C-alpha cells in the first residue's frame, strides 16, 4: 500500500501551479539486447551519473513538481545500484522501471519497491520477438520474468511497441495478458524526427517497423477503448487513444506538445531535454536556476508548435497536461488508482 507520507508529498506537488509532472531518466546507455529499432546498444557508453548524483537529480525533480519517474535506458537493471535508486525514488514518486525481460526475475529485491515494472515484449510469437530483440531466448525470459514477478506480488506489466511488425497481433496480445490480469501499456514505433544536435537518440529508422496501415491503427484504438470498459488492465487513456486514432485517420494532431511544461527527460549524464529528440537545455543540477526563466518559457512556446515526433509517451503527457489533464487520468484509470492506493 502507498504510504501516507508519499501521498502527502505528492499532493503538495499537485497543488503547485507549475511544474512538469513526468520525468524519464535514462539512467544508463548500457544494454544487453540488440533491438532492431534502437541504437542505444551500439554505443554501450559506460559513463553515467553516480548513485548520489541520481539521488540529487531526483531531489531536484521533486522540488520542481515531478510526480512520476520512469527509469529506462539502456537497461536500468544493469546498474548495480538500481535497487538503491528505486528505493529512494519510490518514497516520493510514482516509480516505473523498464526491463527487457532479461534481468528483473533475478533482481526481485532491488525492484520490489517500484510501483510498476514494465517488461518490454512485442509479440506472442517467440521467434518473431527474438528477431525484434536481436537476442535468442528473449521471449522465453520475458514470459518467465512476468510470471516470477507476478508470483512475488510485484506490479508487473507488459509493454509492447506497436509497429507494422506486430500491428495485426496487438488486440490478441492484449487479450492474452489481460485474461491473466497482467496490465498492458503501449509504446508506438516512431522515427519521424531529424534533429542534428539531440542530446541522445534512441531510435533508428527501420522501414519494416514504419506503420503503413493507419486504418488498422485507428481501428485498434477504437477496439481498445471498448475493451477498457470491461478491463482495468489496459493502461492507456481514452483521450490518448482518441488522439492517436485521429492522427492515424487524418494526419492531424489534436494536441499541442507540452514538452518542458508537463514532461522532460534526463539522460545518463544528467543532461535535461524536453524530449530525447531535442537539444539539451541544461544540466539537471542547474535546472532550478533556470526553470522559471524567460528562456524556458520561450522554449515551451516553441515546442508547443513542434510536430516532429509521435512517441506515445510524449502524446500521453501532452494530452494530459495541466491539472485537468491529471484529473482526467485519475478518472479514466480510477479502478487502478484505487488499487494503487491500496483501498
Ligand atoms: S530498445 Fe531497450 S532493450 Fe532494446 S536495445 Fe534498446 S535499450 Fe536495449
Ligand atoms: S513533438 Fe514534442 S516531444 Fe516530439 S520532438 Fe517535438 S518537442 Fe519533442
Q: How large a percentage of the chain has pLDDT more than 70?
A: 96
Q: Ligand 1, residue 74: give the atom nearest the CA.
A: 7
Ligand 1 mean position to 279 CA, how many Å?
21
Mutate to test the pocket of ligand 1, among 28, 34, 42, 75 (most ligand atoms within 8 A of CB): 75
Regarding the beta carbon of 304 and ligand 2, being less than 6 Å apart is answered no
Q: Residue whose CA is closest, atom 6 of ligand 1?
A: 38
In this prediction, residue 118 carries a pLDDT of 97
Q: Which residues pair with 265 in a beta bridge?
A: 24, 273
Mean pLDDT computed over 34-60: 92
Does residue 27 have a pLDDT over 60?
A: yes
Q: What angle do CA 302, 308, 313 make, to 5 degrees?
A: 95
Q: Among 95-99, 145-149, 320-324, whose mean pLDDT is lowest? A: 320-324
- What are the tens digits of pLDDT across the range 252-289? 999 999 999 999 999 999 999 999 888 899 999 999 99
CB atoms within 10 A of CB 230: 9
Whether pLDDT at 318 is above 70 = yes
Mean pLDDT within 176-200:
82
- The secondary element (H helix, E strand) that includes residue 297 is helix 294-304
Enclosing domain of residue 226: 4-341
* Residue 200 scores a pLDDT above 90: no
Query: Closest Cα to residue 83, out of 66, 103, 63?
Result: 103
Looking at residue 168, its pLDDT comes to 98
pLDDT of residue 103: 97
- C-alpha grid cell, residue 161: 511497441
- Between 44-53, 85-94, 195-204, 331-340, the lowest mean confidence (pLDDT) is in 195-204
Whether 196 has a pLDDT exceeding 80, the answer reads no
Per-residue pLDDT at 187:
93
| Residue from 120, 64, 119, 67 nearest 89 by CA | 67
- Split into its structural domains, the chain has a count of 1
Per-residue model confidence (pLDDT) at position 14 = 81
CATH code of the domain covering residue 247: 3.20.20.70
Listed in sequence order, the residues at least 6 apart from 324 whose beta carbon sits closer than 8 Å to its beta carbon are: none
Place of cell 485537468: 324
The Cα 337–Cα 330 span in angstroms is: 7
> Which-ligand-closest: CA of 191?
2
Q: What is the mean pLDDT of residues 226-244?
A: 95
Amino acid at each position: 500500500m502507498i504510504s501516507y507520507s508519499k501521498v502527502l508529498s505528492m499532493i503538495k506537488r499537485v497543488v503547485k501551479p507549475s511544474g512538469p509532472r513526468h520525468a524519464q531518466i535514462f539512467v544508463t546507455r548500457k544494454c544487453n539486447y540488440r533491438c532492431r529499432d534502437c541504437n542505444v546498444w551500439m554505443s554501450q557508453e559506460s559513463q553515467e551519473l553516480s548513485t548520489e548524483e541520481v539521488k540529487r537529480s531526483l531531489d531536484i525533480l521533486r522540488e520542481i513538481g515531478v510526480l512520476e519517474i520512469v527509469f529506462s535506458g539502456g537497461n536500468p537493471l544493469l546498474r548495480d545500484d538500481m535497487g538503491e535508486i528505486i528505493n529512494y525514488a519510490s518514497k516520493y514518486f510514482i516509480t516505473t522501471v523498464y526491463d527487457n525481460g532479461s534481468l528483473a526475475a533475478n533482481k526481485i529485491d532491488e525492484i520490489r519497491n517500484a510501483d510498476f515494472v514494465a517488461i518490454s515484449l512485442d509479440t506472442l510469437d517467440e521467434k518473431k520477438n527474438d528477431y525484434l530483440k536481436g537476442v535468442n531466448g528473449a521471449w522465453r525470459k520475458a514470459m518467465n520474468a512476468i510470471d516470477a514477478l507476478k508470483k512475488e506480488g510485484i506490479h508487473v506489466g507488459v509493454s509492447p511497441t506497436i509497429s507494422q511488425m506486430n500491428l495485426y497481433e496487438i488486440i490478441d496480445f492484449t487479450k492474452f495478458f489481460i485474461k491473466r490480469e497482467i496490465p498492458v501499456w503501449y509504446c508506438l514505433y516512431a522515427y519521424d524526427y531529424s534533429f542534428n544536435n539531440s542530446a541522445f537518440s534512441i531510435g533508428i529508422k527501420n522501414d519494416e517497423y514504419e506503420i503503413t496501415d493507419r486504418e488498422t491503427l485507428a481501428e485498434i484504438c477504437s477496439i481498445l477503448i471498448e475493451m477498457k470498459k470491461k478491463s482495468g488492465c489496459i493502461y492507456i487513456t481514452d483521450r490518448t487513444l482518441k488522439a492517436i486514432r485521429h492522427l492515424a485517420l487524418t494526419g492531424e494532431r489534436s494536441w499541442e506538445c507540452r514538452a518542458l511544461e508537463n514532461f522532460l527527460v534526463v539522460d545518463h549524464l544528467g543532461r535535461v531535454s524536453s524530449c530525447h529528440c531535442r537539444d539539451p537545455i541544461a544540466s539537471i543540477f542547474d535546472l532550478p536556476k533556470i526553470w522559471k526563466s524567460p528562456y524556458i518559457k520561450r522554449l515551451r512556446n516553441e515546442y508547443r508548435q513542434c510536430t516532429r515526433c509521435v512517441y506515445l509517451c510524449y502524446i500521453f503527457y501532452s494530452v494530459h497536461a495541466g491539472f485537468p489533464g491529471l484529473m482526467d487520468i485519475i478518472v479514466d484509470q480510477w479502478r487502478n488508482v484505487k488499487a494503487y492506493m491500496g483501498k
